Amino acid sequence: MLSEDEAMFRDAVREFALAEVTPLIGSMDAAQEMDAGLIQKLFEMGLMGIEIPERFGGSELTFFTSVLVVEELSRIDPSVGVLVDVQNTLVINAIQRWGTDDQKARYFPRLASDTVGAYALSEAGSGSDAFALACRAARDGDDWILEGQKLWITSAREAGLFIVFANVDPDAGYRGITAFVVESDAAGFSVGKKEDKLGIRASSTCELVLDGVRVGPEAVLGEVGVGYKVAIETLNEGRIGIGAQMVGLAQGALDHTIRYVQEREQFGRPIGQFQGVQFQLAEMATGIEAARLLVYNAARLKDAGQDFLMAAAQAKLYSSEVAQRVASTCIDLYGGYGFTREYPIEKYYRDAKIGSIYEGTSNMQKQTIAKMLLK
């Protein structure tokens, strides 16, 4: 299924994750903070600008490659996986699709080398109803003044660049929504409360406060009033990335469990020799492979320029279900040890839950799939 180059790149990322991420998992989770040195290594590896053209310092690879990277990093730590996922499948993809030549020349070299990006759509009253935005943008001459708050913004603490969605004409409803590229050092812009989360704790999730943030006309991403298109199209791609995160998470949990059941003995032999345990391993491996194929198929369709809307929804829906089911079963196989932090499996269990929530809940994915079937 993978080309030779893709397989080599995947293997390089796997080795990197094992060597560089593994030693930091516990400390980052406990501190609820991404290691700054690790972020720099992600840039040095070319993992933060996968689809950015080489002339801007990027790797100029495919969307499918981004999916492979997210899967491999999430196999070790899903918090790191989502940092890279948001950077590539949301922020960079949005600028690649909607940015002007000047915006690409300005932001791509930074996103490829040292600047983390974040995607600021959600608000307190705008979750599944993504376009019920209270954040406003008002004209002031040629400039725009942004006012409002954003919630649950991934990578907000680390980001130097944000894609912020605001409504320039509330009377026009979703047709007033506009995307703006905002830098973290803009006057009036601040990162607020950091959420204390169940899982992916090393990944920062924060409130943003926009208090009279002034941006020029060059900050508009796409066109005024088409922000809803920017959001929809980017999130469709991002859901494939979340699917990859969940596949990697499930595979990582299973990897640990396969080793454990060959070491843990009960009744005079390793528990992996019992048929009941073997059947559970087989079911988990089959579910993971099915989820992986759904994710890979959606990514291939996207790269081929074909319709991937339903494929992306199916990939995210199923992979998030598989991740939760696998992580739970793995804890069962660990028994009491799985319920402690002495072993890594409880973290996969905590991390898995977010997959059915962010970038479109499972119910929203089901709604999308049903609409496509009934079209």
Positions marked active-site = 359
Give which of 67, 121, 109 is closest to 237, Cα–Cα: 67
Tell me the β-bridge partners of 143. 140
Q: Can you tell me the distance from the alpha carbon of 5 to that of 52, in angstroms, rounded to the nearest whole number?
A: 18
Pairing relationship of beta strands 205-215 and 220-221 according to DSSP bridges: unpaired
The answer to whether residues 263 and 340 touch, using CB atoms and an 8 Å cutoff, is no
Burial (Cβ within 10 Å: 0-12, 13-18, ≥19) of residue 174: middle
**CB 79, CB 200: distance < 8 Å:** yes
DSSP state of 307: -
> Rg for the chain (alpha carbons), in Å?
21
Give dist(CA 240, CA 228) in Å, integer: 19
Alpha-carbon distance of 233 to 240, in angstroms, equals 12
Name residue 153's beta-bridge partners: 206
Q: Max CA-CA distance within the chain?
A: 80
Separation of alpha carbons 89 and 97, rounded Å? 11
